[in-house]
Amino acid sequence: MNGNRFNKNGSLSELSDIQRHLQHLQERFRADELPEQAAEMIDLRILGGRKLPVEPVPWSPDHDDRFKAEVAFPEINKSQLSAAALKAGILGQGGIIVRGLMDGDTVNNFKACISNSLKSPQRFSEDQSESDSWFRRSEYVAKGSEGPARIRGGDLSSDHGSVWAVDSPITAARLVDFYGELGLREMLHDCFNGAAVLSVRKWVLRSVPPMKGGSKGWHQDGRFMGQDIKTINLWVALSECGEGTECPGLELVADNRRQIHETGTHGAWLDWTVGPELVEEIAQDRPLVCPYFQPGDAIFFDHYCLHRTAEGPNDTLSRFALESWFFAESRAPAKQQPVLF
């Protein structure tokens, strides 16, 4: 880590110092886009995540119920996105779709970022102290955190798989700038009644290959992310996907009930998945949908949302996507390793 503002343990003494230095580095990165700047920011974001307040801040589940006439997930365009729309969509309907959240150039930029990160030789290296421009494991990631990308004997010709955003510092820095342009930091602050943070484990770059008629298990992230959490997930499609396409989409239950369903029963494949028979029961009075997404479309939902990667017998194309789980900083689960936003 560069500079003389760090103590012997590699950290700044106060959270406010880290935040100011991060802002300075992010401004420099916009001009220079140097890998070492991006890498230093990741280190700082993880270190700052260790200094978050521990007392939960109260928040209100009240919303204006503007989407009460909708049967499933409401749909809005980018210009209509606001904290009030997020709260009404997620708390009132179980989620909200935003069309055209990301423009075509930005979509192509992030698809290239994911592909470059997945094809990085360092992704398969036994020596995690090494790095390159597209893959670098911070020394501050908790020991024993293998991560989705650290696969031994992997195929460098393939851009299928997942990478933690913190393992691709350039991508992470570009994403933070994108969030800033959206005004997402301010919206989430209003939703959470306090600052939002990301995390090491739930900030993910994805390239999902065709399912070939298979499917992944139904699940709710609230089952395993931690107790007493407050979340909003931003999932952005970088490929045309979903119903009527040749690319795996998402299947979701549009359900505003705030409950975690039992797992490991009703024909469940794994102990952490919700069985398909139970999903059928739930979907009797709650819409089960597989939305169509154009590149740049997005959906916001929280840890109660029951969903899975959709099966598609006619799928022939890979689906690129960005997954960013935001936590209220005072309710961020330590096991997910909070990361300053």
Q: Where are the alpha helices (DSSP H) in the chain?
A: 15-32, 35-49, 83-93, 104-118, 169-182, 184-192, 276-282
* The total number of residues written for the chain in this structure: 341
Rounded Cα gap, residues 249 and 297, in angstroms = 12
Domain layout of the chain by residue ranges: 15-340
Q: Tell me: the pLDDT tens digits for 272-319?
A: 999 999 999 999 999 999 999 999 999 999 999 999 998 777 888 999
- Token reading at 141: 């990631």
Percentage of the chain beyond pLDDT 70 is 88
Rounded Cα gap, residues 164 and 167, in angstroms = 5
Domain 15-340 has CATH 1.10.150.130: no
Provide the pLDDT confidence category of residue 24 given band limits of 50, 70 and 90: very high
Q: Tell me: the pLDDT tens digits for 192-204?
A: 999 999 999 999 9
Rounded Cα gap, residues 293 and 236, in angstroms = 9
In the prediction, which pLDDT does 55 show?
82
3-state class (DSSP) for residue 82 = coil
In the prediction, which pLDDT does 130 show?
57
- Token reading at 264: 């490991």
Question: How much is the average pLDDT of 72-90?
Answer: 98
Residues 6+ apart with CB under 8 A from 218: 251, 273, 274, 275, 276, 279, 306, 307, 308
Rounded Cα gap, residues 101 and 293, in angstroms = 11
334: region left, alpha or beta (phi > 0 left; psi from -120 to 50 alpha): alpha
Q: Tell me: the pLDDT tens digits for 133-146?
A: 899 999 999 876 55
